[in-house]
Amino acid sequence: MLASMAWRARRIGGGVAVAALIALEARYSFAQAHAGGRIGARSTALGGDVDLDPAIRPAVAGFVNIDVTTLFAVGAELQASSSGSEEYRLRYLSAPLLVHARHRVGANAAARISLGLAPAWLATAEYIHGTDGGGEVSDDVRPTLRVWDVGLVAATAVQVQVGRVGYLIELRYVRGTMSIDEDLFVTNRELGLWIGAQL
């Protein structure tokens, strides 16, 4: 009986130790969370079975990055962007989920690479077929397109810390993994330059 009680005590003690470590790790991670925002200009295109002219489209995003170690972090973003081509303007709301690996290149600077997925929801879609009196003439084509897409994200960035604020410049490529058209194979593609800041 004494042996059984001792075994149970060790088991309870081990459980308490594990819970304490999880709590400490959660506290550390929360303390190392960084929030920020960024804006970008992107060359966007539609690839696959179509051959359309790319367009330069804007985007804005907010993000939270959580340091896992000194070398790795995870991030979640909320992004509003305009994609498509010169003929098609597609507005998406996306939520990229990323893993960042970074390397210090100086006392206040770091380089990083990022990989992840970007689920996206199609808010509006327009086919632009001319102008009339100085304004665009367009048709709503959202009912003919799939409203969900998932992009593969690859990015490289440089961040410079000035006081409590980190300023970054990022080059990001996103390629859609799903056809957005019901009949043809058409995918989103973009290459963008972003600038931003985080606390």
What is the rounded average pLDDT of the residues 158-170? 95
Residues in contact with 29: Cβ distance below 8 Å, sequence separation at least 6, in sequence order: 66, 67, 68
What digits encode the pLDDT tens for the residues 70-129?
A: 899 999 999 999 999 999 999 999 999 999 999 999 889 999 999 999 999 999 999 998
* Partners of 189 in beta bridges: 45, 175
Residue 85: alpha-carbon gap to chain centroid? 21
pTM of the predicted model as reported, rounded to 2 decimal places: 0.82
What digits encode the pLDDT tens for the residues 180-191?
A: 998 899 999 999
What is the rounded average pLDDT of the residues 23-44? 75
pLDDT of residue 13: 52
